[in-house]
Amino acid sequence: RKCNMGDGTGDIELDQAVSQWLQYDQNPKTASLVQDMMKEGAVDALKKCFSSRMEFGTAGLRAAMGPGVSCMNDLTIIQTTQGFCHYLEESFENLKERGVVIGYDARAHPPSGGSSKPLAVSLQPFTVSHLGLCAGIMVTASHNPKQDNGYKVYWENGAQIVSPHDKGISKAIEINLEPWPESWNAEEALKSPLLKDPYQDIHTQYFKAIQKHCHHRGVNKSSEVKIVHTSVHGVGHAFVQAAFKAFDLPAPFAVEEQKDPDPEFPTVKYPNPEEGEGVLTLSFALAGREGATVVLANDPDADRLAVAEKQESGQWQVFSGNELGALLGWWMFRCWKQQNPEADAVKNLYMLSSTVSSKILRAIAVKEGFHFEETLTGFKWMGNRAKELLDQGKSVLFAFEEAIGYMCSPFVLDKDGVSAAAIAGEMISFLATKNISLSQQLTTIFTEYGYHISKNSYFICHDQTVIRTLFDRLRNYGGQKDSYPSDCGGFSISSVRDLTTGYDSNQPDKKAVLPTSSSSQMITFSFSNGGVATMRTSGTEPKIKYYTELCAAPGNSDVKHLKKELDDLVKAIVENFFEPQKNKLQPKPE
Ligand SMILES: *[C@@H]1O[C@H](CO)[C@@H](O)[C@H](O)[C@H]1NC(C)=O
Ligand SMILES: CC(=O)N[C@H]1CO[C@H](CO)[C@@H](O)[C@@H]1O
């Protein structure tokens, strides 16, 4: 299917792909863009738009908006939705009675003509679960640059789809490429008696549901802490304000320039609070004016949350996703324990995190007696695992991943930056009544459960051959077939797990427990000094990411030494495992 563009056959394939496109596309804007490219003989531009159809994966679709099969546009969305529809009809007998919900964030796209409003992502899985629907579609590109859009899919269990649904949907798309006559007729669709807008009801029910996690109603009375919130030009503002209200907390100060949805993201380079301080500049300025000491930031579709706190030095500390995971995990457990003092109750309690995130929840679980489980990277895994546990009658209190994603409520089986903001707001206010800052509380958690210091970064690499060479070298270390390194620059390696091949030296049968995927690279090394390092390729970006953490035993509070040891470990990993391919890798831009 992929057009082979290197030779004459490729050009014929390109011609065919383009003429079929023009036959199908009824959007005058994208159609004329393609016609213009044809007239100008802009072969390279055409190849970019038609080289290969966007691949429908478990994350749905995400790509730049533009014409052609490689981009997000009306036609590719019609084709995808026809395929998805077909797949749903095959999967559910009562699809028409149960229904599907469609939502969107505030990305640039033509006016939908519908009556509903932009949504924070988490209300979408909530709607699927709450109304017992067959599926949900969310049009969002999360924190991607402004030219991108995406199509995220939830299954009837309220979690994002996992295999084999992606393959099934992908196949169904292939056989439904020709637009059905009614597919272009949005006006007619909007008149359908089957169409309902559940927005108001869902809005009410969602805030009622997350209110169950409000444990210290009225904590505002004695707390004087002031909080700033930014929605980074996304949809978060109204939802976070409502969530604070539901928790009976004073409204956070909103960053005026960023509070309303604006798909141009005019005040930030990237609309991604993970990128750290640049995105938070306006928030810090507002905090300065209002005397606020904490900043909460959502990404544009409000499924993620970043937190920063002003230190006594006057400097802002932006917490890493792992640090905030430690704080929220601790807080969620503390509140739960107060409500469930019986000694046995913890036996039914679970927390989850992705395998590249901090192991701090494991340390808390070991000491407190609840269960901790790891999943593969991404909330599709945590959401589906949480649902399995809930169906077995277990309680799932909290799940997180280092990429500032937090699931604080089983009502939403995905990360949710809205409930996380309100719960963080309550934790911050509660701590403030005791004159404790977040960074002080983090130290207390580490003192009690052991310091967990992590350092994550990546190299950029567009060449799959280089990536394969780099990882295969680690699997055949020192030229020895199927042999992994036992040492990295003096740091002794105690175990290796390779989720590309399914090998785990720690398991009695040497088989990894987590699912294996041969199409992506992922190796984890555990070190004798309590270090853990994972190297993996990203499914959506041209990156080799690495995640490292040093897990110290409780009582070891020599932070300076621990930090140095982690720095040395990271250096050894870069030198020994990445540098042989150095010339072909670009470091993370500063
Ligand atoms: C609150 O804590 C800070 C140090 O963290 C201290 O300087 C200050 O005096 C404390 N305030 C009260 C009222 O205890
Ligand atoms: C400013 C603010 O939101 N204050 C609230 C604090 O909590 C009490 C109830 O406990 C509310 O009545 C206040 O409005």
Q: Is 218 in the pocket of ligand 2 (CB under 6 A)?
A: yes
To the nearest whole percent, how much of the chain has pLDDT over 70?
Answer: 96
Q: What is the pLDDT of residue 221?
A: 60
Q: Identify the weakest region by mean pLDDT among 17-31, 274-288, 431-445.
A: 274-288
Query: Can you tell me which residue has the tokens 């897990």?
Result: 551
Task: Name beta bridge partners: 460.
Answer: 543, 586
What CATH number does domain 204-318 carry, 3.40.50.2000, 3.30.70.20, 3.40.120.10, 1.10.150.20? 3.40.120.10
**Which residue's CA is minimally distant from atom 10 of ligand 2?**
218
pLDDT band at 3 (very low <50, low <70, confident <90, very high): very low
- The encoded tokens of residue 491 equal 């740091």
Mean pLDDT of 283-293: 97
CATH topology of domain 55-197: Alpha-D-Glucose-1,6-Bisphosphate; Chain A, domain 3 (3.40.120)
pLDDT band at 130 (very low <50, low <70, confident <90, very high): very high
Best of 214, 247, 248 to mutate for ligand 2, by most ligand atoms within 8 A of CB?
Answer: 248
C-alpha to C-alpha distance for 487 and 35, rounded to whole angstroms:
58
Q: Identify the weakest region by mean pLDDT among 112-126, 357-371, 513-527.
A: 112-126
Is residue 230's pLDDT more than 80? Answer: yes
Burial of 435 (0-12, 13-18, 19+ CB in 10 A): exposed
Q: Is 248 in the pocket of ligand 2 (CB under 6 A)?
A: yes
Q: What is the pLDDT of residue 409?
A: 92
Q: Using alpha carbons, list the distances in angstroms from residue 332 to 336, 351, 361, 364.
A: 6, 10, 11, 12
Q: Which atom of ligand 2 is nearest to the CA of 221?
A: 6
Distance from Cα 394 to the centre of ligand 1, integer Å: 41
C-alpha to C-alpha distance for 405 and 377, rounded to whole angstroms:
11
pLDDT band at 530 (very low <50, low <70, confident <90, very high): very high
Distance from Cα 436 to the centre of ligand 1, integer Å: 8
pLDDT band at 278 (very low <50, low <70, confident <90, very high): confident
Distance from Cα 234 to the centre of ligand 2, integer Å: 27
Q: Is 241 in the pocket of ligand 2 (CB under 6 A)?
A: no
Which 8-state DSSP code applies to residue 221? G
Ordered by start, the domain boundaries in the chain are: 1-51, 55-197, 204-318, 322-449, 452-587
Mean pLDDT of 303-329: 97
What is 452-587's CATH number? 3.30.310
pLDDT in tens, 206-223: 999 999 999 888 676 667
The answer to whether the 55-197 and 322-449 domains have the same CATH topology is yes
C-alpha to C-alpha distance for 138 and 159, rounded to whole angstroms:
12
**Which residue's CA is minimally distant from atom 1 of ligand 2?**
250
Mean pLDDT of 466-478: 95
Ligand at minimal distance from the CA of 222 is 2
Is residue 109's pLDDT more than 70? Answer: no
- Residue pair 532/455 in contact (Cβ under 8 Å)? The answer is no
- Residue pair 576/489 in contact (Cβ under 8 Å)? The answer is yes
To the nearest whole percent, how much of the chain has pLDDT over 90?
Answer: 86
Q: Which CATH architecture has domain 322-449?
A: 3-Layer(aba) Sandwich (3.40)
Q: Which atom of ligand 2 is nearest to the CA of 249?
A: 3
Distance from Cα 437 to the centre of ligand 1, integer Å: 10
pLDDT in tens, 20-30: 999 999 999 99
Q: What is the pLDDT of residue 590?
A: 72
Distance from Cα 435 to the centre of ligand 1, integer Å: 6
Q: Is 216 in the pocket of ligand 2 (CB under 6 A)?
A: no
b/e 523-533 (16+ beta carbons within 10 angstroms → b): bbbbbebbbbb
Q: What is the pLDDT of residue 1?
A: 30
Mean pLDDT of 308-324: 97
- Residue pair 408/416 in contact (Cβ under 8 Å)? The answer is yes
Is residue 11's pLDDT more than 80? Answer: no
Q: Which of the given ranges, 49-63, 98-112, 416-430, has the highest pLDDT on average? A: 416-430
Q: Which atom of ligand 2 is nearest to the CA of 245?
A: 3
C-alpha to C-alpha distance for 249 and 241, rounded to whole angstroms:
9
Of the residues 122, 142, 283, 437, which is catalytic?
142
pLDDT in tens, 564-576: 999 999 999 999 9
Best of 211, 216, 220 to mutate for ligand 2, by most ligand atoms within 8 A of CB?
Answer: 220
Which 8-state DSSP code applies to residue 530? S
Is residue 437 flagged as an active site residue?
Answer: no
Distance from Cα 203 to the centre of ligand 2, integer Å: 22
Q: Is 245 in the pocket of ligand 2 (CB under 6 A)?
A: no
- Residue pair 524/536 in contact (Cβ under 8 Å)? The answer is no
C-alpha to C-alpha distance for 162 and 169, rounded to whole angstroms:
11
C-alpha to C-alpha distance for 293 and 290, rounded to whole angstroms:
9
Best of 221, 249, 426 to mutate for ligand 2, by most ligand atoms within 8 A of CB?
Answer: 221
Ligand at minimal distance from the CA of 433 is 1
Coil, helix or strand for 208?
helix
pLDDT band at 77 (very low <50, low <70, confident <90, very high): very high
Q: Is 221 in the pocket of ligand 2 (CB under 6 A)?
A: yes
